């Protein structure tokens, strides 16, 4: 309980929504919190101003099957559904997620809950 309150206080002003990726090999869906996207860029200096030289495509490692490499076409999902944290008394955060995700994690308090695709399923996350 105390760790959740600390994470809410530390994550008060979040920058943007999470990005979700579906692995092309095994079909597992994960967010930035579970498997971060890694990008790298090179910069050159011309007359004291940095110029973007080359940017690599985002690389991602699947948490389920371990596939590592650049993202393939269609793996990055678009956020189209608004979800509200299930801890409405303490957190009260809402963010957008893809409609095909079954389990989401609140970026403010890190609570796992059922996603939009799991609403039709029985049970869900506790």
Q: What is the pLDDT of residues 17-39, one digit of tens each?
A: 888 999 999 999 998 888 888 77
**Domain encompassing residue 24:** 20-77
- pLDDT score recorded for residue 80: 92
Q: Within a domain: residue 115? A: yes
Q: Within a domain: residue 126? A: no
Q: For the beta carbon of residue 17, count every other beta carbon within 10 angstroms.
A: 15
Q: Within a domain: residue 125? A: no
Q: Within a domain: residue 55? A: yes
pLDDT band per the 50, 70, 90 thresholds, residue 9? low
Is residue 77 pLDDT above 80, yes or no? yes
Average pLDDT over residues 74-81: 91
- pLDDT score recorded for residue 87: 84
Q: How many residues does the chain have?
A: 126
- Radius of gyration, CA atoms only, the chain: 17
Specify whether 27 is located in the same domain as 68.
Answer: yes
- Beta bridge pairs of residue 113: 104
Alpha-carbon span 28 to 101, nearest angstrom: 10
- Our CA angle for 8, 94, 28, nearest 5°, is 95
pLDDT band per the 50, 70, 90 thresholds, residue 79? very high
> Of 86, 87, 28, 85, which Cα lies nearest the Cα of 60?
28
Per the structure, the count of domains in the chain is 2
Q: What is the pLDDT of residues 98-122, one digit of tens each?
A: 999 999 998 888 889 999 988 654 3
- Beta bridge pairs of residue 20: 31, 77
């Amino acid at each position: 309980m105390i760790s959740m309150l600390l994470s809410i206080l530390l994550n008060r002003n979040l920058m943007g929504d999470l990005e979700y990726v579906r692995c092309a090999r095994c079909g597992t869906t994960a967010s930035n919190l579970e498997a971060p996207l890694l990008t790298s860029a090179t910069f050159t200096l011309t007359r004291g101003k940095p110029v973007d030289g080359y940017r690599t495509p985002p690389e991602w490692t699947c948490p389920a099957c371990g596939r590592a490499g650049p993202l393939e076409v269609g793996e990055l999902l678009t956020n189209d559904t608004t979800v509200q944290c299930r801890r409405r008394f303490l957190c009260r955060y809402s963010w957008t997620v893809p409609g095909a995700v079954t389990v989401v994690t609140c970026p403010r308090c890190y609570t796992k809950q059922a996603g939009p695709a799991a609403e039709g399923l029985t049970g869900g996350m506790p």
